[in-house]
Structure 1
Amino acid sequence: MELAVLVGAAAAGFALRSGLIFSDLPKLVSQRVEFSVPTNSWQRVLEGSFLYDSGVDPYSGDIFHETPLCLVLFAVLKKRISCFGIDLIFPVLDVVTAFLLFFFARNLVQDTIVSEQKAKEKHASGTSKLLVPFADIVTVPRMVLLWYLFNPHIIGSCLEKTTSVFTNFLLAAMLLSASQGPSLLSRLSSLFFLALATYQTLYMFLLFPALHLYLLQNAPEKCRSSRKFHIARLVIHLGIFGGILAALVIGSSVIMGSWSFIRGVYGFAVFAPDLTPNIGLFWYFFTEMFEQFRTFFTWIFFLNICIYSVPVSIKLRHDPPFAIFTLLSLITIFKPYPSYGDVGFYLSLFPIWKRLYPHMRQSLVVVVMLLVAAVLFPILWKLWIEVGSANANFFYAITLVFVASQVFFVTDIMLAHEKREWHLMNGMKSDVDANGKAAELLLD
């Protein structure tokens, strides 16, 4: 029965994507700033490939910002398969990513149930309904699969054929590898996929502290109390991650015959010289910025993204997968060129933590703000760019609404996580109602 449901969902997701790709709908989302940004635009990949085939360095200008391996991969695919086959790669990869997330969710739910049952004696009385039920082993992975396959953000990103599809695949592979257990292969593969994701999208290196703690969580119980073991594992994991990333960068320099891609890929991601409007915070701020202050605020914005990595990982060290989820959302909020593909990926992971939903207080506000932003983005863009009856302030205003909705979501779910942990250890304490009287919080 479960296999039939999974196969049916996968077939429906693939049919929906492939059917839409070969329809006229991609023209409606073509070069939409919500989906396509300078760092994931398929049109720019095509232009960079043309320059590369013509013997021109694609990184010499300000058009191409993908990695050399992405460039070479597309060049090989273009020679081996037809345009029809290349178009099909995106829905196929999306379906594969959905299944990777499905198995990751199942592994994580199983591990969570086992750990909570072991720690049940430490929990306060009357908190049994806060624990993850055994039924979630079946329902949660299905929800993750469906949320990813039928998420409009993900579908639109696939139709636009953005390279976010590849990044999402690498992140899903990293998560699944990390959830496979304490084996050496699991550790190596998860670090390998994180290095590939970082190579493709620079800011993914911020996931390393949380991933390290996740891999450490799978270590034998007796080893985790040793400080030497922690230091040794950190050095090993950092060495493997850094070594793979260095090999990818050096290999890219050999392929290109120069180091020009460093500026075109990673320098571009940090300094964000392209101020094309998108759903992020950078473009409007730096459009209005005096040039003499640009360098200072560029580094401030970069540090703002990086500063959350270690504190969030330490705070959530007992739940590293949730730390990874939180960091993915923060990276999406604060990086220079976010897209709907990035937003859709971390939102698709939310069903894994559906146990936190009863503790969340801003759900309605977040949903309404996301819907309002989704409706008004294309309208205000048309009024500004095509009709000319509005200006950049209108579009940036709805961008702030969209970013604020994500901030509310992250803070709300983190607070809900802490509430649940506190209640598990201390019991269901009395809250104070609007009249100042004690009101028992009954769950049974």
Structure 2
Amino acid sequence: MEIRHYWSMAVAAVGFRLVLVLFGGDLHLASRPEVSTPLTSLRRLAEGYWLKQVSMSPYSGSMYHGSPLLLSVLGPLTSKRSGGHHSHIYCSLVFVAVDFIAAMLIRSTGRTLQMARNRSLKSLDLTKSVNNSVNVSAGDTASLIYLWNPWTIITCVGSCTSPIENLMVVIMLHGACSRLAPLAAFGYVMATHLSLYPAILILPVALLLGYGPDTPPTKVFLQKGLSANKIDMSDNGKGTSQKGFGQFSWKPILHFILWVFIWSCYVLSLNSIILNKVGGLQEMFEKTYGFILTVKDLSPNIGVLW
């Protein structure tokens, strides 16, 4: 069951962001190292885009440490000016839309998990538990928490690229919960490419793909199978025994690995094209992943983050 007035609260969250972007003036959030880091700063991205426009490497000096893809997508927006507003207003408007899309994907993921839970309970003949369970949608709740989270609001209006990174992580989890290996691989490759930190999510993604979303322990199905040897009908109309539930499958994981390789090659090819004659992939790796792992640049006071 949906939360009452869900869309009113969701629209209010988007409207609140728009008010801060359009009428909040310069909140000076871009100068806060807790909000805008050397990896996510739009000011540094604008500097990298300017260097690229004058046929120099965007990684010259120690200003820009982000992805070349962001230079092509957000770079042109940083050069536009709007009278009476801060210089990065167009990027902030894009981030508002990105946050809304992420919230809708979170909502869809919650519904997927809830349907998987209900199917698991019904397969155990626990229909009474399904009927008596709380009907408040977990997806609606999670999406509203995301939209009204003070931190996501600050990063949305704080001139940093964190909303895009958040969206890629949400896409990865949505694909894993839906057992869509190509989508999960796309989100994983992009999230890792943008900030590297989401690489540690490989284990939960593999478990979601291998076991499926919200699967009860295999022992429960085995005990139920001993008491009654029934046949459940799957969504495709094929009969499967209860012993088939809860078993780990390597096929989705191998499919995921294949798509990770494909998306990685595609992303690297795009980066190579963007950096043609103004740098190269080796310099990109040194200035992005090398910076993340070694943290040579301590301005602005990036030590606060650790």
After TM superposition, the score normalised by the length of structure 1 is: 0.54
Specify the alignment match of 1:174 in structure 2: 172
CA deviations on 1:205-232 (whole Å, 9 max, x unpaired) are 2212221221122398749758xx62x5
Deviation for aligned residue 1:37: 0.8
Q: How does 1:315-334 map to 2 (within 5 A)?
A: none
RMSD: 3.1
Q: In the alignment, what sits opposite 1:428?
A: none
Q: Is the 8 A contact 1:101 1:145 kept in 2?
A: yes
**1:38 is matched with which residue?**
38
The letter of the residue matching 1:263 is E
Q: What's the counterpart of residue 59 of structure 2?
A: 59
Structure 2 Cα separation of the partners of residues 28 and 72 of structure 1? 25
Task: State the alpha-carbon separation in 2 of the partners of residues 177 and 236 from structure 1.
Answer: 13
In structure 2, what is the Cα distance between the partners aligned to 1:247 and 1:177?
19
1:27 aligns to what SS in structure 2? coil
Contact 1:112 1:132 in 2 (8 A): no
Displacement of 1:27 = 2.1
1:107-162 Cα shifts (integer Å, max 9, x gaps) = 112323432454578xxxxxx99x996324x3422221221111111111111031
What is the alpha-carbon distance in structure 2 between the residues aligned to residue 170 and residue 160 of structure 1? 19
Higher helix share: 1
Name which of 140, 148, 151 aligns with 1:150: 148
Distance 1:132 1:68, change over 3 A: farther
- The percent of aligned pairs where both chains have the same amino acid is 23
Distance 1:112 1:30, change over 3 A: same
Could you list the per-position Cα deviations for residues 53-73 of structure 1 after superposition, in whole angstroms to 9, with x for gaps in the alignment?
121111122110110111111
Contact 1:26-1:160 at 8 Å conserved across structures: no
User: 92, 99, 120: which one pairs with 1:94?
Assistant: 99
- 1:72-151 to 2 correspondences below 5 Å: 72-77=72-77, 84-118=89-123, 134-136=133-135, 138-151=136-149
SS at match of 2:31: coil
Q: What TM-score, normalized to structure 2?
A: 0.76
8 Å contact from structure 1 (residues 94, 165) kept in 2? yes
What is the identity, as a one-letter code, of the residue corresponding to 2:16? L
Is residue 265 of structure 1 aligned with residue 288 of structure 2? Answer: yes
Aligned partners of 1:79 and 1:170: how far apart in 2?
A: 25
| 1:280 to partner: Cα distance | 2.9
Residue 241 (structure 2) pairs with residue 236 (structure 1): no
Asked if 1 retains the 8 angstrom alpha-carbon contact of 2:59 and 2:287, the reply is yes
Q: 1:120 to 1:266 in 2, by over 3 A?
A: farther
Structure 1 residue runs of 5 or longer lacking an equivalent are 122-127, 282-444
Match of 1:69 in 2: 69
Provide the secondary structure at the position in 2 that maps to 1:167.
helix
Q: Give unpaired runs (5+ residues) of structure 2.
A: 83-87, 214-239
- Please list, as runs of the form range in 1=range in 2, the aligned pairs for 1:411-422 lying within 5 A after superposition: none
2:182 to 177, 188, 201: 188
Amino acid at match of 1:108: L
Alpha-carbon distance change, 117 to 59 in structure 1, aligned in 2, over 3 angstroms: same
Q: In the TM superposition, what is the alpha-carbon distance from 1:24 to its structure 2 partner?
A: 3.8
The CA distance in 1 between the partners of 2:156 and 2:186, in whole Å, is 24
Q: 1:398 maps to which residue? A: none
Say whether residues 1:248 and 2:267 are aligned partners. Answer: yes
Q: Is the 8 A contact 2:51 2:58 kept in 1?
A: yes
**Which amino acid letter does the alignment assign opposite residue 53 of structure 1?**
Q
TM-superposed deviation, 1:196: 1.1
Q: What is the alpha-carbon distance in structure 1 between the residues aligned to residue 159 and residue 132 of structure 2?
A: 38
- List per-residue Cα deviations over 1:24-82 (Å, max 9, x = no partner): 46424232122111111111111111111121111122110110111111235568997
Aligned length: 266
Counterpart-to-counterpart distance in 2, 1:98 and 1:218: 22
Is structure 2 residue 266 aligned with structure 1 residue 277?
no
- Is residue 163 of structure 1 aligned with residue 143 of structure 2? no
User: Contact between 2:111 and 2:137, CA under 8 Å: does it hold in 1?
Assistant: no
Looking at structure 2, the residues matched to 54 and 16 of structure 1 have their Cα atoms a distance apart, in angstroms, of 38
Aligned in 2, Cα 1:79/1:20: closer, same or farther, shift over 3 Å?
closer
Any conservation in 1 of the 2:59–2:65 contact (CA below 8 Å)?
Answer: yes
1:81 to 1:34, Cα distance in 2 relative to 1, 3 A: closer
CA contact (8 A) 1:13 1:95 kept: no
One-letter amino acid of the structure 2 residue matched with residue 109 of structure 1? Q
